[in-house]
Amino acid sequence: MIAHTTAPSACGEHVADVHSLIGSAYTARDASDHGQAEHLLRQAVAHTQGQALAPARVQAQTALAEIWRQRGQYRRAGLLLRLTLTTAETACGVKSLQVAAVCNEWAILGKYTGDFVHAETLYHRALAIYETVHGSEHHTVATICHNLGGLAHTRGDHATGEPWARRAVDIRTRLLGADHPKVAADAAAWAALLDGTGRHDQAEQVLRRALEIFEATYGPDHYEVAITAHNLAALAHRRGDLQAAQAGYRHALALKQAILGPEHPECATTLVNLAATHHRQGDDAQALGHYALAIAILEGAVEPDHPVLTIARRGHTQTTAQPPSDQ
């Protein structure tokens, strides 16, 4: 999330309390204690009644929506963000940094739910604000470029997404240095798009370097490690190395289930790809089980035409007919 602080006012003491609660919530979130993070953010929202505290309320509600998204509570997060954007526009101005932060978080949610057109509009609105306020070489600009690349990847439009992801890597490398974990996160996202545009060897090289940085920074049981393990497995899958792909997918799935919970929608992508490897090996019973679990996780959590849900349904019904497409 991109956070923005609020300048002290006559209600400065309350604002400081709210910022302290939000800071503590971020610490809890980074420690994967999402329950404590939600509790602290609810307290922060409760401390921001009144027009003078509206900017602080926007920040607290945006952070709370982020926690709900990370916990897979997509519809709840979307309702809160809709309300929060209206508050931000009224209290802070339609071209304010607060509006940009809400737009970014709502767009991230849209990528996960399948509301892609709305997400792209929100990202470009946020990007225009950040470039106007900060210029083109700022970490917020890099974040939106990263996110636009990720959205294009989810839509399967790798050629459009690759320049956005590369721009994020370039900006963040100049700001932080090549070995920073945030640069590694940008590079891992870029690698997925390189793979999609046919540059498989370059993609694997970039991914393996990102994995080294993540494991050195966070240890082996981190969300970024899970995502990178999934993407490396997908590379092996596309090359036809089904055993390596299955091992990678299982590792990624175990990490996701431990970090996010077994019913989190992000587990479904790995389940679908794991199912496809089993189908190609002729193990239809395993494939059907994984497809069914992915469908159960996604139905009601994402848009009915979300690409992962579509692939899972098609794979489940056509397992014995032909190999399904991979995500």
Segment 103-154, tens digit of pLDDT: 999 999 999 999 999 999 999 999 999 999 999 999 999 999 999 999 999 9
Within 10 A of 215 (CB to CB), how many other CB atoms are there? 15
CA gap 211, 184 in Å, rounded: 8
Helix (H) or strand (E) holding 137: none
CA distances from 176 to 2, 132, 227 (A): 17, 22, 22
pLDDT recorded at residue 7 = 47
pLDDT recorded at residue 34 = 86
CA distances from 165 to 66, 111, 142, 224, 260 (A): 22, 15, 9, 17, 25
pLDDT recorded at residue 270 = 98
CA gap 71, 56 in Å, rounded: 23
State the Rg of the chain over Cα.
20
Could you give the domains of the chain? 230-327 (1.25.40.10)
pLDDT recorded at residue 9 = 45
pLDDT digits (tens, 9 = 90+) for 9-54: 445 566 788 889 999 998 998 887 889 999 999 999 998 877 778 8
pLDDT recorded at residue 327 = 54
What residues in the chain have per-residue pLDDT under 70? Answer: 1-14, 320-327
Q: What is the pTM of this model?
A: 0.83
